[in-house]
Amino acid sequence: MKILAAMSGGVDSSVAAALLVGEGHDVTGAYMKNWINEEGVLGECPWEKDISDARAVAGRIGIEFIVVNLMREYRERVVGYLLDGYRGGITPNPDAMCNREIKFGALWDWARGRGFEAIATGHYARKSSAGAILRGTDPNKDQSYFLAMMRPEQARIARFPVGHLLKPELRDIARKLGLETADKKDSQGICFIGQVKMADFLRAFLPDSPGPIVDVEGRVLGRHRGLHLHTLGQRRGVGVASPLFRQAYVVVAKRPKKNELVVAIEGEDTPLLRTRHCTLASLSWTGEPVSGARTLLAQPRYRCPAGEAEFVPLGEGRASLVFRDPQRALTPGQICALYDGDELLGGGIFEAQCP
């Protein structure tokens, strides 16, 4: 099979490409050039180092290596989506949209026009014999959550060669193969932008818009620099000193019309912080859509366990979701991944603050 292996310059995608070569596939390595920090305002942007590392790995395993320029598509489909969301008072997820719109979107459009049959990545996810996307074997690294907004055609051509491995096993393989990325640290920044904190990225593109910080009764406690710099459930950097020792304010709501940031002391009964019911919009399915009411496993954020929830379609890409157990800080704009056991069914976007 002729496969384009997306190589980010990290160890996961390096081993993914190497394993495909070992399986006898016709593999070409590709670095997606999405962002080069040309404005020079965001600190270190390691794309040149990443390209060098990916090219070195490609040479080591004996495959062709190319750089695919997708900067225009990335700026339009991911950065535009990100900034529009924060302007509107929600908290979007750029990583999930990068997978759908760029890696398995724009890159796949480029690849299939050149005869490639699949796109391979270093995601910790698996494929079933029937082609469904499954959770990765390593519970500490499972990344299927970030694939929840993929479309059926994208799921069909996706390959995840490292999803059956534990992270230590993957690094052992990289060392045995002599890959230059074997001991390279994992990236902690925004997808393909680099070691950049979200708040710093937003400040470079969105102006401050100060407003009041209020409690749930409307009493003014302080001032914020902009609602886009805060998210529901946030405890650190709220901007209001805790009233008592070992108590902390937490963000429980954002009110864009009044430009108000609403906070409360966190506890078991904190108003607005926990809920069982929410509404999803922009539903996307990796296979057949769920067309009727049923109980699913719903994962409201990465690094959060999935919980049982009753899923009820509402039409027009929307659904009601009622969790069995109350969930903390279900955040408008964030992704909720939907599962049947280990099988990823798809996902949706939290539409509005849940009551």
Active site residues: 98, 191
Structure tokens at 166: 């534990």
Rounded Cα distance, 131 and 220, in Å: 54
Nearest-5° Cα angle at 109, 339 to 123: 40
Residue 223 token pair: 């001032």
3-state secondary structure string across the chain: CEEEEECCCCHHHHHHHHHHHHCCCEEEEEEEECCCCCCCCCCCCCHHHHHHHHHHHHHHHCCEEEEEECHHHHHHHHHHHHHHHHHCCCCCCHHHHHHHHHHHHHHHHHHHCCCCCEEECCCCEEECCCCCEEECCCCCCCCHHHHCCCCHHHHHHEECCCCCCCHHHHHHHHHHCCCCCCCCCCCCCECCCECCCHHHHHHHHCCCCCEEEECCCCCEEEEECCHHHCCCCCCCCCCCCCCCCCCCEEEEEEECCCCEEEEEECCCCCCCCEEEEEEEEEEEECCCCCCCCEEEEEECCCCCCCEEEEEEEEECCEEEEEEEEEEECCCCCCEEEEEECCEEEEEEEECCCCC
Distance CA 228, CA 207 (A): 10
Cβ neighbours for 169, distance < 8 A, ≥ 6 positions apart: none
